[in-house]
Amino acid sequence: MYYEEQVIDGQLCYRTTPDGPWAVVEYKELVDRVVFAEKKVRQLESELESFIGPDPEMEEDARVSGKIRRQSRAAIVAYSADCPLL
């Protein structure tokens, strides 16, 4: 199976054949990828903590990380409202 992604005019696009037409990745797919990545990061942080022990700076990092996630989600929602293709 062939699959290729490329950013075209600021939008993530894909095609399924080497010479095929480009299609915009749907908004839901992008959100699903963000959610999956966040879960994976939390899983890896948990595994790391169980391996080396808790990080004393983790509490502050968690507050900052949560703020960044909220800002990222807000930016995605704002962008999708302005973009007729999503």
| Predicted pLDDT at 48 | 77
- Count CB atoms within 10 A of the CB of residue 54: 10
| Predicted pLDDT at 13 | 95
Q: What is the pTM of this model?
A: 0.54
Mean pLDDT split into 10-residue runs, the chain, 86 residues: 95 96 95 92 83 63 64 64 52
| Predicted pLDDT at 14 | 96
| Predicted pLDDT at 11 | 94
| Predicted pLDDT at 58 | 58
CA distance 79 to 86: 9
Nearest alpha-carbon partner for 16 in 32, 4, 30: 4
